[in-house]
Amino acid sequence: MNAVGVLTPEQLRSWRDEGKPFALLDVRTPAECEIAALLPAIQIPMNEIPSRLDEIPTADPVVVMCHYGERSAHVAAFLAASNVSHVYNLEGGIDAYAGRIDPSIRRY
């Protein structure tokens, strides 16, 4: 099983600023994604991940995100157990990213 890394909002901002290749996987519900979004992201609700694994690009690191980081931690562990290498959980989720990096993202 692969290990899951933790990525802080600050590290994610650096990755984005540097143009580092990675896939951002948002596992919140469609309703949550309508309220606030960090784009570009692949939006697959947590409960659909097992049946939609083939939609997740794995050539580059995968950063999993939810509202506060709890659901994404479970999905990241599932992906690592499914032999996806280089999986990271976004610490604090989109709420932390909005609060610490991008205040234009609506908090809920």
Give 26-56 pLDDT, tens digit per residue: 999 999 999 999 999 999 999 999 999 999 9
Which CATH number fits the domain that encloses residue 24? 3.40.250.10
pLDDT on residue 1: 66
Please check whether residue 108 lies inside any domain of the structure: no
pLDDT on residue 2: 82
Please check whether residue 93 lies inside any domain of the structure: yes
Tokens 């097992």 belong to which residue? 50
State the Rg of the chain over Cα: 13
Residues 6+ apart with CB under 8 A from 15: 7, 22, 63
pLDDT on residue 31: 97
Number of domains in the chain: 1
Please check whether residue 105 lies inside any domain of the structure: no
Query: What CA–CA distance (Å, rounded) separates 108 from 99?
Result: 11
Reading phi first (left if > 0) and then psi (alpha if -120 to 50, else beta), residue 89 is in beta
Please check whether residue 61 lies inside any domain of the structure: yes
Q: Which segments in the chain show pLDDT lower than 50?
A: none
Q: Provide φ and ψ at 34, rounded to 5°.
A: -70, -30
Catalytic residue among 4, 66, 87, 96, which? 66
Global model pTM greater than 0.85: yes
What is the span of the domain harbouring residue 63? Answer: 4-100
33 a catalytic residue? no
